[in-house]
Structure 1
């Protein structure tokens, strides 16, 4: 479970860095300052945590389900950004509302990166006992401020094609969605298994599928006839 969450946190950071490659340097610096201030100012709350408390959070089904809702919303927004970006690049002139939606989503940095930064701060404080908490926090804040623009520049240098970065961002978000389901289920099943087959429901589903296929074929033939005429 902890391994899945750790991989999920790495993917969230990677997605965050990859998203910055679509912004200008000024925007990246603004987001870097926000993240750095978040890390530097959260140390009074980070020192109140404990390793056992973090483990209890991961084992809490209700909390993990709430987290899955936030994760799902972010994944949907990031995937929407990818689809809008691909649409704008390939469709030519687009409507203003589509362009405004794309700009708004491009500015959306993601909210999952902040819990990840907080968890990193807690882990760093536990790793250096006896060191000033504020010193650890502001040192990490300085590292975050440097690493975000540097990582964005490195990804842009390694992947100069926007289309490739966009596809990678979409696939990474899909992987986050899958890992989020695994992490939030946490060994539980939402539906109790059954041994019997509901033949009536199966027959109804089959009839619906066949009827839908027939309607689709008829509509396609009608459309082709209209195009030929």
Structure 2
């Protein structure tokens, strides 16, 4: 179930703010009944009319983008910075990101117009694994790194990793490259967690999302997920 104004906006008819105005003005019907209450929820089986015109549903589509650094995980930016949909200009459907990656973080980002699929992957209780590779300043020891599994408290929030793996150590430059696995994704999760143990991140990339990897892709590339991949991602998220 999704909010009515969100469904209208995602259909491409209008913005969410204008959709809210249409609802309160009595211009929207759900299953032939006028709905004026904001926050009303609808399912994929409900018939929606806006100004007497039936809302046509787009066929669900699923894309993977190799998000470069310096790009916003959004549909627009009031500062004029690049956003992820700038790299998917050939996609006719109105798609939106599933979750987000920080401005300075690169890697796998999924986009879709399927709200149910997005909610499946984002819900923390489903624990879809995401694997990141990060370069940190300093060389943490085993005791430091074991804190990632136990949890690092920052801003009254406990941040945990499922596991970690040391990829390389450069004692000359005093840096370490780590692979870190999460099954949740709080705001700036890895950056805050590593800062919490005293080893800030200088570079971060998401290399795997569930069963999906960046194999054969370069920053800025995107591709459509095939039906088998979509089915497997649904299965993993359940």
Q: TM-score range by the shorter chain?
A: under 0.3
Highest Rg: 1 or 2?
1
Give the TM-score, by structure 1 length: 0.24
**Could you say which structure has the higher strand fraction?**
2
Give the TM-score, by structure 2 length: 0.23
**Structure with more relative contact order (C-alpha pairs < 8 Å, separation 6 or more):** 1
